[in-house]
Amino acid sequence: MAAPTVRPVRTGFVRVKEAQRRRRPGGPLRTLTDSDWSEWLPIHAWLVEHDGGLLLVDTGETARAATEPGYFPRWHPYYRLAVDFDVRPEDELGPQLRRLGVDPAEVGTVVLTHLHTDHAGGLAHVPHAHVWVDADEYALAKGFAGRLRGYPSNRWPASFAPTFLAWRDEPVGPFERSAPLTPDGSVVAIPTPGHTPHHLSVLVRGGDAGYLLAGDVSDDEQIAIDGVPDGVAPDAAVARETLRKVQVLAATEPFVYLPAHDPDSEARLAERRLFGER
Ligand SMILES: [Zn+2]
């Protein structure tokens, strides 16, 4: 049996406030009032090829987020003040998969780390894939209440009919629960709450190295090493505890750390550079 492989799928760029990347004092308004923008950060999805087929972790962003006035609700201050997208139509998931020689229709399974726009924005490119999400994340994201929380659920494609992950009491290192995504358990979801209350990550157990496809656990690896929660996590203590567990897992089962928005993720993947290695 071949070990699973991971390939980056970059669907354009986003920039956020520095107060979002590293939490600062100031309460929930910190990302709106901060005048300090990050550099342009990649929006990554990850394509996992395993014995059973192709599995995609996240779907990236749509160009509509960058080009269509009113795509996000104007009444929501976060979209008006705290986030900026640079996504062209050719950056979207479908064209980027084809660039890798993959027909989007071949992607059988999608797992969403969470339901924010830059992770669910490419769903329309994989309408026939089986989509896994966390049930509680979906409950927070759906409907108008979800839109108030910053999930543009009105933009989900009509095809979006996710299946809820069945968490098991099967520990992965310090993480008490997990949900296998392949029959052989080489690809497994683990709960990594913080950025959102029910955020998840995907651990790929490769041959010589594992990979943690970490969504928005942190914007980059250094922030995870420093254990600093982001500025939008509803509960900083929960986010801090997840970062601690990521560090513990790295010490026992080394992995290449691949969050969605780290400009260095692709280089680390190419070099198989493990979490904490320079
Ligand atoms: Zn997010």
Compute, in angstroms, the gap from residue 118 CA to the centroid of ligand 1.
Answer: 7
Q: Does any domain span residue 117?
A: yes
Residue 112 has pLDDT above 80, yes or no: yes
Compute, in angstroms, the gap from residue 246 CA to the centroid of ligand 1.
Answer: 18
Average pLDDT, the chain: 95
Domain hosting 235: range is 5-271
Helix (H) or strand (E) holding 9: strand 5-16
Confidence of residue 127 (pLDDT cuts 50, 70, 90): very high
Compute, in angstroms, the gap from residue 1 CA to the centroid of ligand 1.
Answer: 34
Q: What is the pLDDT of residue 1?
A: 67
The CATH code of the domain that includes 200 is 3.60.15.10
Q: Does any domain span residue 221?
A: yes
pLDDT 10s digits, 226-272: 999 999 999 999 999 999 999 999 999 999 999 999 999 999 999 99
How far apart are the C-alpha atoms of 256 and 49, rounded to whole Å? 16
How far apart are the C-alpha atoms of 109 and 158, rounded to whole Å? 17
pLDDT 10s digits, 52-100: 899 999 999 999 999 998 999 888 988 888 899 999 999 999 999 999 9
**Whether the Cβ atoms of residue 115 and residue 199 lie closer than 8 Å to each other:** no
| β pairing state of 41-50 and 53-57 | antiparallel
Strand order in the sheet with 41-50: 83-86, 5-16, 41-50, 53-57, 107-111, 130-133, 163-164
- Write down the pTM of the prediction: 0.96
Compute, in angstroms, the gap from residue 233 CA to the centroid of ligand 1.
Answer: 9
- Please name every residue paired with 210 in a beta bridge, in sequence order, or none if there are none: 205, 255
Structure tokens, 275: 């979490």
Q: Does any domain span residue 276?
A: no
Q: Tokens 């320079």 label which residue?
A: 278
Q: Does any domain span residue 277?
A: no
Give how many domains the chain has, as a whole number: 1
What is the number of other CB atoms lying within 10 angstroms of the CB of residue 33?
12
Q: Does any domain span residue 145?
A: yes
3-state secondary structure of 227: coil
Helices in the chain by DSSP H: which ranges?
18-21, 30-33, 64-67, 77-81, 93-99, 117-120, 135-141, 143-148, 221-226, 236-252, 265-271
Compute, in angstroms, the gap from residue 236 CA to the centroid of ligand 1.
Answer: 15
Compute, in angstroms, the gap from residue 175 CA to the centroid of ligand 1.
Answer: 21
Q: Does any domain span residue 278?
A: no
Q: Does any domain span residue 149?
A: yes
Q: Which residues surround ligand 1, an ion (CB under 5 A)?
A: 116, 216
Share of the chain above pLDDT 90, in %: 85
Residue 93, CB-side half-sphere exposure with 13 Å CA sphere? 27
